Amino acid sequence: MTRDLESAKHSSMDVLHVVGARPNFMKAAPVLRALTTSAGVRQTLIHTGQHYDSNMSGVFFQQLEMPAPDVNLGVGSGSHAQQTAEIIARLEPIILERKPDLVLVYGDVNSTMAAALVCSKLLVPIGHVEAGLRSRDRSMPEEINRLITDQLSTLLFTPSADADENLLREGVESAKIHFVGNVMVDTLVRLLPFAEAQSSRELPQRFALVTLHRPANVDDLPWLKRMLFALSELSNDLTVLFPVHPRTRQRIADLGLEALSNGRLRLLEPKPYLEFLALQRKATVVITDSGGIQEETTFLGVPCLTVRENTERPITVSSGTNVLVGRDIALLQTETSRILSGKKKAATAIPLWDGQASGRIAEVILRGL
């Protein structure tokens, strides 16, 4: 039986956070901050090193004002199996040594599932921040990570009502589920003024912001080639800013299409959080295959076209600014034209996307003290 959080009552509680990729950092930062203000809570931050270069990792810690990790496992890149296995092997001794009362994992990356597996074997309670999201597409590695992590977790912190419904449908006990809202919004609300203050005055008046990184898209070279030419065509109507993920940049090089980058279609280096948030805030339209960007654009009221057949964040479609266009480039062009002609979706307020989700998470955890 998993060690009960009640054992921490009337004493200090050791909470260990495991992060591994940029989306994790944006979710963990406000939770770390909320628990820091609580007496009787000791915290440890473990970075698996799943994202490991400075633009993809280090600068995010600085901008989010996160403490330096207590431990960096230095896992680096590899196949899903290799990366997951390395995290498990390197994390287990840390958990055995530190004996935390609770381990918090975030989102749906390999680090999330690997940490949940380690803790479940060692009977350490797991809290999953951003639990219950489902795309219904098991070809996505992230979907497998979500399903496994949620089945192993003791505390499931959900961002939206549909996530609660998914968990209940899968047989998760209702007492484990806590609807707290979206912690990504906490970070966005806190840092948006800083992003706007440093926003470049040299930005075009109108521009499309593009991100593409999912293997199903960028590893399909014929599709990626058509997409790049479509973006080049779009740049005749407005500037296209495309911060390019390292994986995507390599695929563009494989296609020999680096020369498409010009004054109107700009292939840029990856952007740190504040710079990218400033771009999102001012974009005319965002074209992406990212999950978190669907949420951020909805909160910001910026039109978002998601180049995926499904989303684990359906609330961004039903209540937000997001439109799923799949991998249909003709549909992408049609929807872009609609937005440029002024026919954009209006977002409605989503419950508990208010910048206070991390405080609600801390309240649930502190009930164990």
* The predicted structure's pLDDT at residue 369: 57
pLDDT digits (tens, 9 = 90+) for 245-259: 988 999 999 999 988
User: What's the mean pLDDT when you consider all of the chain?
Assistant: 92
Among 27-31, 53-57, 188-192, 247-251, the least confident range = 53-57
Q: Label residue 124 by pLDDT band (50, 70, 90).
A: very high
Please tell me what DSSP assigns to residue 79. Answer: -
Please tell me what DSSP assigns to residue 56. Answer: I
pLDDT digits (tens, 9 = 90+) for 260-278: 888 899 999 999 899 999 9
Q: Which two tokens stand for residue 367?
A: 């009930």
Beta-sheet strands, E only, within the chain: 13-19, 41-47, 71-72, 102-106, 126-129, 155-158, 177-179, 207-211, 239-243, 265-268, 285-288, 304-306, 322-324
Q: Which CATH superfamily is domain 193-340 in?
A: Glycogen Phosphorylase B; (3.40.50.2000)
* The predicted structure's pLDDT at residue 5: 55
Catalytic residue among 17, 51, 213, 245: 213
- In the predicted model, what is the mean pLDDT of residues 293-298? 97
| Ranges of each domain in the chain | 5-181+353-366, 193-340
Level-2 CATH architecture, domain 5-181+353-366: 3-Layer(aba) Sandwich (3.40)
What is the rounded CA–CA span in Å between residue 290 and residue 304? 11
Query: Which bin fits 130, alpha (ψ -120 to 50), beta or left (φ > 0)?
Result: left
What pTM does this model have? 0.93
Tell me, yes or no, if 128 is annotated catalytic: no
Residue 10 has pLDDT above 50, yes or no: no
* The predicted structure's pLDDT at residue 225: 96
Please tell me what DSSP assigns to residue 70. Answer: S
* The predicted structure's pLDDT at residue 1: 39
Confirm whether 5-181+353-366 and 193-340 share one CATH topology.
yes
- Cβ atoms of residues 27 and 56 within 8 Å: no
